[in-house]
Every structure is written in C-alpha cells, then in structure tokens.
C-alpha cells in the first residue's frame, strides 16, 4: 500500500483535531481533540520511519506518547479543579486573566 | 621666609564667626564682644607681623606659610599657601584696623537690633574672607576669598531682609558680582591653560614668555573681575543699592575694604598688565569713566549714604586709573586706597551717627543745622570731608594729587585727557561733598518735630575720631620720604626714576587742582547757602538733572540691554521646552499607550481564539517555509 495514504490520513486527523480545538467549548472535547492532533503527528512519525527505513520516527512516537500521558494527567487535573470551583467545563468561562 | 602666624590672621575671625553662628541665642549677651575681640586679635597679629617685616631688609620681607597641599593632579599642583608681602600687609592692617573700629562702632549702632549676634558673625566672616583674599599666594586661593567676601557682602546688604527692597538690593549686588567673578575664573583658566600654573610667582615667571594676546586676554578678564567687585563701569549699578545694608557694613565693606579688592587684583597682577598694554589702556579708560560717572551721580543724590556710595565709586575710579598707569601708578593707587579707607569709612560712620540721631532718616533735605546738635560728628565728618576733596595737608591731598600728576604725565594726548578727567573729577568731588556738608550740618533745620538729634555715644564717636585722625595724618605719613612708594617697590616692580617727562611741574598741578576744588566748593556754596534748600527735591528741573538723579540711567540701560532680552530668551526657551521637548516626550508616551490599547483588543481571554491564532501562525510559517524552499 502506498505510504502517502497514511500521511493523508494523518493530515485529516490533525485537521479534525485542530478544528475541534478551535470550535468546541467543552474542555474535555477540546482535550480529546488535542490528543487526536498528537496521535496524528505520531502516525506521521511512524510513516516516515517506515519510508526512511530506520527507527528514529518510532522512537519519537514513543516519546510523544509519554509526553501525551503526562499532559493528560496534568490537563485532566486542571479541568477537574476548574469544574469544581466554577461548575462549568466550558473553556470560554475560564477567562479570568482578561478581567 | 616662613612664618606660622599668618594663618591666625584668618583663623581667629573665622572661628569666632563659626562660634557666633552655631551657638544660637545663648551667645546674644557676649556675641558682639567676641566678634570685636576676634577682629582686634587679628589686628594684633597683623601688627606683630608688620614689626617682624620691618626688621628685615627690603628684599626679604615677604613672609610665606604653606597650610596644606590643596590640589595635586598630574602637573597641576596648588598649595593652600599664604603670602604676606609688602602689599598684603597694607591691606591686612587696613582690614583688621578699620574692621576693629567698625566692630566697636557696631556694638552701639546695632544695640537695639535683635540679630546683633548674627551681624557680628557675618562681619567676622567678612574679615576672614577678605584676609584670605589678600593673603592667598595664587589666583585660586584669592578666588576663595573673593567669593567669600561676595557672600558676606550679600548677607550683610540683605541683613534686614524683612524689607523686600533690601533683599532685592542684596540679590542685585550678588548677581552683578557674579558677572565679575566669571571674569576672574576665566582669567584663572586662561592662565592655567597657557602657563600651567595659577600662583602669582609662577605666572610672574611665565609671563615674559607668554604671548601678548594671552596676557591681554587674562588682563581683560581680570579687569572685568575688578570692575564687578569694585563697582566700576560697566558693572557699577549695584553699589548704590548696596546701601540697603546697615551703615557700618557700608563703611567697612562698601567703602574701605571689599570694593577696593579690584584695585588689589590689578596691582597684584602688575606683571600681567605691564606686559599687556591694551588691557592696561582699558583699565585706565574704565577708571577715568567711573571716576567721572560716580562724581556726576553724586551731585544729584539726596540720600546721604547713596551720595557717599557714588563718591566711593568715583574714588575707586581714581585708584583703578592710577593702577592702570603702570609701575609709576601702583603705589599711588594703594596710597589713595589706604587714605580713602580712613576718610570714607569715617564719613560713613559719621552718616550712621547722623542717622542714629535722626530716626534713621537718610534724606539730606530733612537734615540741616546739625552742627550744633552733633559737634563731634560734625568735626570728624568735616575732617574726612577736607581729606576727600584734597585740601592740604589732609590725606586726600597727597594721594589724589599724586594720581592727577601721574595721569597728566602719562604722555601725549592720553595724559592730557586722563589728567583733565582726574582734575574735573576733583572739582565735582569738591562740589558734591560740599553739598553733603552744607545740607547736613549747616543752614536752617528742616527736620520734623519727631526727630530729636543728639550726639552719639562714645562707642560710636571714638572710632570716628580715630579714623578722622587717620584722614588727617595718613597722607603726610605715607609720602614722608616716599615711604609707601619705597615700601611697595619690591612687589610692584622697581620705580622708573626720571624716565617720564613732566607735562607740568608738580607745584603747578597742585595749584591747578586746588583752584578747581575751590571752584567746586564755591558753586556748591552759591547753590545751597545763598539760596534756601527745599525739604523735598524740586520737581521742575532740567532733563539732565533728572537723568543724573536716575544714576545716569544705569538701571534703565541694564534692563534694556541685559534684563529684557534675557527675559525674552528665557520665555522663548520655556516655550520651546514646553511645546517641543515636552511634546516629543508626551508624543512617545501617547504612541505607546495608543498602540497598546489597540493591541489589547486581540487579547480576548478565550482559549479557542488563542489556539486558532497559534494554528494560523503555524500554518503561515509552514507555508512560508514551503514557498521559500520551492
């Protein structure tokens, strides 16, 4: 199968994730979209790894997964805390810095 | 030769001044006594040093004392050193001697003043500064004293500064003196730049090698300095207003000592002026103009102190004229300075005594017939009067006659012009001084009934009497065997004997001078004895009289030439500052604020918009890279 197809899929996933981040208000959904973008990038890394015939891309993909796991832990903790204090998971309500 | 005593001349009054200023009200009871004692001790030290000098042969009389190394930068070394030579000692004895007499006088004169202690502190400060001025061995040391006397003069003119006009007079004197001070500092800078030294000895050594242009520049700057301090044309306008100070101040500072500092400066700088004929010519011209200027102003003054101030200006004009005549004149300038110190201080104290008895009235038209009520003041003032107009054998006759004679013998048209100016000035002097005498002491009484003229107490008339003795005898003593001329010879360059031709024999000059003096007296007698004197100044007078009453328009001229353009310049600069410079500063601020508030609008506070911006930015960068690499 043509490797380019994986890249098209990756671009598609990234775009879906990016649009989700920009248009959705629910913090959990935004967060999931961020994860989608990360995994789109992972798919690209793995694809390039295969095209180039070495393991560099695979290694970077593993690093990205570790970083994503950390991010999920911290990000979810923040979202839960904000939800507890403000009774809302909307990202538009968390605009205190502007005031 | 060195002497460790010289510093005490300055230190004693300086210390006393500090004590009086710092000890506050506690010292009110004995402050005046300490002040007088300090001045008298300084006089004692001066007298002792004088006897020491007398014991030495003429060439070794100069005493020096190094206090400390003041400035030590590379090749520029200035020591704080004192030099007591034949010229300085004349001043030291005059300053401390007349100063002590005036301290004694002030004890009584200022006895009703609540601030008498402060007055004596300032007087002591003045004595110390003036002594430093004449004892410094370099222009820089002299400069310290020069500024010190300026400060003391300012403080004392404005001593009664609760009156705004008096405070203004003090400021006027200070500002006009600053103009002169600028001349002195420039002279010091030029001397240092061209010769690398500022000491009298160093410059005297370097002067023959220096170019005439440099020496002329230094000379002119020194002349400006002398004009400022000595109230010479064109910086003369402050002296009349300086009479706002208490009368003893006028006697000490604005008649006998400080205002003669300019004469000292020129005489001390003889090595510069002798090598710079242009500067010397300017000195003579300034002296001649001022001697006539002061005399003319004096003829129209009804304020007794201002009449005497105008006279002071005129007499210093004589001294400057003599000092500008070169080696033949220096000694006569100093001689006239010393005799003037006696008779003018005496007359000022006499004026103070009259004011003391007349409820501080200064208008001579409100005096009259005071001879009977104040016999001692009349006699002492009268002796000073005879001295200043130059009647033999009083002091002024000897000193002024010498100056007139030297001026006449200056050679050519210059000699004739200067001689006639000096002779005419002598006539005017006789006229206005006779006028002062007649208006004050003779004629009918013109004072109000509240005034109760009475003779002053002994503490006041005793100094007047001593100064009167000086006015009688000093001229004779100084000229006996040319004593003063020979005494000063080592300092002011050797006397050139018989080199100058004599335009007229001395006896003829004296006769001429006396005739002119007699004419002056007769005109005054005709105007003020034969005709009744009005107790207010007549209004219907000629335009000339009106101009003279306004001090020959000196203030009008200064205001038109310096004050108004200065104010206009200041206003322009303020406008430029407010509109242009402040405009730029405020503009920069406004740009920052405006652009900030515009950019602020992009900060919505919504995470979504930030992420969208990041996305767009990242996409733009990727696109940019792609476009470039294609």
* Average per-residue pLDDT for chain B: 88
Look at residue B502 in the predicted model and tell me its pLDDT. 67
The SS3 of residue B369 is coil
CB–CB of B225/B273 below 8 Å?
Answer: no
Task: Find the range with the poorest average confidence among A70-84, B152-166, B486-500.
Answer: B486-500
Look at residue B494 in the predicted model and tell me its pLDDT. 56
Is a pLDDT exceeding 60 seen at residue B495? no
What is the distance in angstroms between the Cα of B588 and the nearest Cα belonging to chain A? 26
Of A33-47, B201-215, B519-533, where does the model show the most confidence? A33-47
Look at residue A49 in the predicted model and tell me its pLDDT. 92
Residue B381 to residue B347: CA distance in whole angstroms: 5
CB contact under 8 A, A25 and B608: yes
CB contact under 8 A, A97 and B605: yes
What is the distance in angstroms between the Cα of A3 and the nearest Cα belonging to chain B? 21
The percent of residues in chain B predicted with pLDDT above 70, rounded, is 98
Q: Choose between B413 and B587: higher pLDDT.
A: B587
Residue B620 with chain A: CB contacts under 8 Å: none
What is the distance in angstroms between the Cα of A30 and the nearest Cα belonging to chain B? 9
Residue of B nearest to A97 (CA): B605
Residue B222 to residue B183: CA distance in whole angstroms: 6
What is the distance in angstroms between the Cα of B591 and the nearest Cα belonging to chain A? 23
Look at residue B331 in the predicted model and tell me its pLDDT. 87
The answer, for A37 touching chain B at a CB cutoff of 8 Å, is no
Look at residue B223 in the predicted model and tell me its pLDDT. 94
Q: What is the mean pLDDT of residues B57-85?
A: 85
On the question of a cis peptide bond just before residue B216, with omega within 30 degrees of 0, the verdict is no
Instruction: For an interface test with A, give the residue of B599, B600, B608 to mutate (most A CBs within 10 A).
Output: B608
Look at residue B500 in the predicted model and tell me its pLDDT. 55
Task: Find the range with the poorest average confidence among A89-98, B3-12, B94-103, B456-465.
Answer: A89-98
What is the distance in angstroms between the Cα of B590 and the nearest Cα belonging to chain A? 23
Task: Find the range with the poorest average confidence among B351-355, B415-419, B601-605.
Answer: B601-605
CA-based nearest residue to B428, from B543, B288, B298, B533 = B298
Q: CB burial class (10 A; 0-12, 13-18, 19+) of residue B388?
A: buried
Look at residue A62 in the predicted model and tell me its pLDDT. 94
CB burial readout B178-191, b (16+ within 10 A) else e: ebbbebbbbbbebb
Write the residue in A18, A24, A95 that is nearest to B606 by C-beta: A95
Q: What is the mean pLDDT of residues B393-404?
A: 86
Residue A25 with chain B: CB contacts under 8 Å: 608
Residue B17 to residue B14: CA distance in whole angstroms: 5
With a CB cutoff of 8 Å and minimum separation 6, the contacts of B30 are none
The answer, for A79 touching chain B at a CB cutoff of 8 Å, is no
CA-based nearest residue to B140, from B81, B89, B92 = B81
CB–CB of B191/B206 below 8 Å?
Answer: no
CB burial readout B11-35, b (16+ within 10 A) else e: bbbbebbebbbeeeeebeeebbebb
Is a pLDDT exceeding 80 seen at residue B499? no
CB pairs under 8 A between A and B: 29
Look at residue A91 in the predicted model and tell me its pLDDT. 81
- For residue A99, name the pLDDT band (cuts at 50, 70, 90): low
Look at residue B182 in the predicted model and tell me its pLDDT. 93
Write the residue in A18, A91, A99 that is nearest to B607 by C-beta: A91
The SS3 of residue B76 is strand
Neighbour tally for B411: CB within 10 Å: 12
Q: What is the mean pLDDT of residues B607-625?
A: 90
On the question of a cis peptide bond just before residue B234, with omega within 30 degrees of 0, the verdict is yes
Look at residue B526 in the predicted model and tell me its pLDDT. 87
Tokens linked to B176: 């006009």
Tokens linked to B464: 């007047």
Look at residue A38 in the predicted model and tell me its pLDDT. 93
CB contact under 8 A, B607 and A94: yes
Write the residue in A18, A24, A25 that is nearest to B615 by C-beta: A18
Instruction: For an interface test with B, give the residue of A17, A22, A27, A95 to mutate (most B CBs within 10 A).
Output: A22
Instruction: For an interface test with B, give the residue of A34, A92, A97 to mutate (most B CBs within 10 A).
Output: A92
Residue B102 to residue B257: CA distance in whole angstroms: 12
The answer, for B359 touching chain A at a CB cutoff of 8 Å, is no
CB contact under 8 A, A22 and B604: no
CA-based nearest residue to B157, from B78, B287, B245 = B245
Task: Report the DSSP beta bridge partners of residue B73.
Answer: B76
Residue of A nearest to B603 (CA): A98
Look at residue B493 in the predicted model and tell me its pLDDT. 67
Residue written as tokens 């970077």? Answer: A60
Write the residue in B603, B611, B612 that is nearest to A98 by C-beta: B603
Instruction: For an interface test with B, give the residue of A21, A25, A89, A97 to mutate (most B CBs within 10 A).
Output: A21
For the segment B38-55, what is each residue's pLDDT rounded down to a tens digit? 999 999 999 999 998 888
Q: Choose between A60 and B485: higher pLDDT.
A: A60
Look at residue B496 in the predicted model and tell me its pLDDT. 54
The percent of residues in chain B predicted with pLDDT above 90, rounded, is 41
Tokens linked to B423: 């002779």
Q: What is the mean pLDDT of residues B318-328?
A: 89
Tokens linked to A2: 């043509």
Residue B208 to residue B198: CA distance in whole angstroms: 15
Residue B237 to residue B255: CA distance in whole angstroms: 15
CB contact under 8 A, B605 and A25: no
- For residue B621, name the pLDDT band (cuts at 50, 70, 90): very high
Q: Choose between B220 and B57: higher pLDDT.
A: B220
CB contact under 8 A, A22 and B612: yes
With a CB cutoff of 8 Å and minimum separation 6, the contacts of B43 are B93, B96, B97, B99, B100
CB–CB of B599/A9 below 8 Å?
Answer: no
Find how far residue B414's CA is from the centre of its chain. Answer: 27
CB contact under 8 A, A95 and B603: no
What is the distance in angstroms between the Cα of B586 and the nearest Cα belonging to chain A? 28
Q: Is this prediction's ipTM beyond 0.85?
A: no
Instruction: For an interface test with A, give the residue of B603, B606, B610 to mutate (most A CBs within 10 A).
Output: B606
Tokens linked to B609: 């918009």
CA-based nearest residue to B296, from B44, B471, B548 = B548
For the segment B522-575, what is each residue's pLDDT rounded down to a tens digit? 998 888 887 777 777 777 778 888 888 887 788 888 888 888 999 999 999 999
- For residue B356, name the pLDDT band (cuts at 50, 70, 90): confident
Task: Find the range with the poorest average confidence among A74-78, B1-5, B69-73, B178-182.
Answer: B1-5
The SS3 of residue B260 is helix
* Average per-residue pLDDT for chain A: 89
The answer, for B600 touching chain A at a CB cutoff of 8 Å, is no
Give just the sign of the alpha carbon dihedral B354, B359, B360, B362.
negative
Q: What is the mean pLDDT of residues B87-108?
A: 92
Secondary structure (H, E, C), B296-312: HHHCCCCEHHHHHHHHH
How far the first Cα of chain A sits from its last, in Å, is 54
Q: What is the mean pLDDT of residues B138-164?
A: 91
The answer, for B626 touching chain A at a CB cutoff of 8 Å, is no
DSSP B217-252: HHHHHHHHHHHHHTT-TTS-THHHHGGGS-HHHHHI
């Amino acid at each position: 199968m043509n490797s380019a197809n994986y890249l098209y899929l990756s671009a598609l996933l990234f775009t879906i994730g990016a649009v989700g981040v920009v248009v959705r208000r629910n913090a959990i959904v935004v967060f999931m979209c961020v994860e989608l973008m990360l995994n789109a990038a992972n798919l690209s890394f793995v694809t390039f790894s295969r095209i180039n015939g070495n393991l560099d891309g695979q290694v970077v993909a593993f690093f990205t997964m570790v970083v994503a796991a950390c991010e999920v832990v911290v990000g979810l903790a923040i979202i839960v805390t904000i939800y507890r204090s403000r009774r809302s998971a909307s990202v538009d309500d968390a605009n205190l810095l502007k005031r | 030769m060195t002497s460790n005593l010289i510093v005490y001349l300055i230190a004693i009054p300086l210390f006393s001044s500090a004590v009086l200023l710092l000890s506050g009200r506690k010292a009110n009871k004995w402050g005046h006594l300490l002040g007088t004692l300090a001045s008298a001790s300084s006089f004692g030290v001066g007298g002792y040093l004088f006897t020491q000098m007398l014991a030495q042969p003429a060439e070794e009389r100069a005493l020096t004392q190094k206090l400390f190394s003041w400035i030590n930068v590379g090749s520029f070394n200035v020591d704080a050193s004192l030099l007591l030579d034949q010229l300085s000692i004349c001043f030291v004895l005059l300053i401390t001697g007349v100063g002590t007499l005036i301290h004694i006088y002030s004890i009584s004169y200022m006895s009703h003043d609540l601030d008498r202690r402060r007055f004596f502190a300032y007087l002591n400060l003045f004595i110390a500064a003036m002594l430093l001025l004449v004892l410094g061995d370099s222009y820089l040391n002299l400069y310290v004293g020069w500024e010190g006397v300026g400060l003391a003069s300012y403080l004392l003119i404005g001593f009664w500064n609760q009156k705004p006009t008096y405070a203004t007079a003090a400021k006027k004197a200070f500002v006009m003196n600053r103009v002169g001070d600028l001349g002195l500092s420039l002279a010091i800078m030029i001397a240092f730049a061209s010769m690398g030294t500022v000491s009298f000895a160093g410059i005297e050594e370097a002067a023959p090698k220096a170019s005439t242009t440099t020496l002329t520049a230094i000379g002119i700057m020194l002349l400006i300095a002398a004009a400022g301090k000595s109230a010479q044309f064109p910086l003369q306008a402050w002296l009349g207003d300086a009479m706002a100070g208490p009368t003893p101040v006028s006697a000490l500072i604005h008649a006998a000592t400080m205002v003669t500092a300019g004469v000292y400066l020129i005489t001390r700088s003889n090595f510069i002026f002798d090598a710079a004929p242009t500067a010397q010519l300017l000195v003579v011209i300034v002296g001649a103009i001022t001697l006539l200027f002061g005399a003319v102003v004096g003829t129209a003054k009804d304020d007794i102190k201002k009449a005497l101030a105008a006279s002071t200006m005129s007499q210093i004009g004589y001294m400057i004229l003599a000092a500008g005549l070169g080696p033949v004149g220096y000694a006569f300038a100093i001689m006239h300075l010393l005799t003037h110190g006696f008779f003018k201080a005496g007359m000022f104290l006499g004026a103070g005594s009259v004011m003391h008895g007349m409820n501080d009235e200064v208008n001579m038209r409100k005096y009259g017939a005071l001879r009977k009520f104040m016999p001692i003041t009349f006699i002492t003032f009268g002796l000073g009067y005879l001295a200043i107009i130059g009647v033999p054998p009083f002091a002024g006759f000897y000193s002024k006659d010498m100056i007139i004679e030297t001026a006449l013998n200056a050679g050519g048209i210059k000699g004739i012009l200067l001689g006639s100016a000096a002779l005419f000035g002598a006539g005017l002097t006789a006229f206005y001084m006779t006028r002062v005498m007649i208006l004050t002491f003779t004629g009918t009484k013109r004072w109000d009934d509240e005034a109760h003229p009475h003779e002053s107490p002994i503490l006041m008339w005793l100094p007047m009497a001593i100064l009167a003795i000086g006015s009688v005898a000093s001229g004779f003593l100084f000229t006996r065997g040319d004593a003063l001329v020979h005494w000063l010879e080592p300092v002011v360059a050797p006397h050139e004997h018989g080199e100058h031709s004599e335009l007229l024999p001395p006896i003829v000059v004296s006769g001429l001078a006396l005739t002119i003096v007699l004419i002056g007296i007769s005109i005054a007698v005709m105007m003020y004895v034969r005709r009744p004197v009005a107790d207010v100044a007549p209004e219907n007078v000629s335009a000339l009289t009106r101009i003279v009453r306004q001090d020959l328009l000196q203030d009008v001229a200064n205001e038109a030439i310096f004050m108004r353009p200065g104010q206009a310049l200041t206003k322009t600069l303020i406008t430029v500052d407010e509109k242009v410079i402040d405009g730029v500063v405020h503009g920069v601020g406004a740009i920052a604020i405006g652009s900030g508030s515009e950019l602020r609008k992009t900060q919505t506070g919504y995470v979504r918009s930030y992420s969208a911006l990041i996305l767009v930015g990242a996409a733009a960068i990727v696109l940019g890279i792609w476009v470039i690499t294609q």
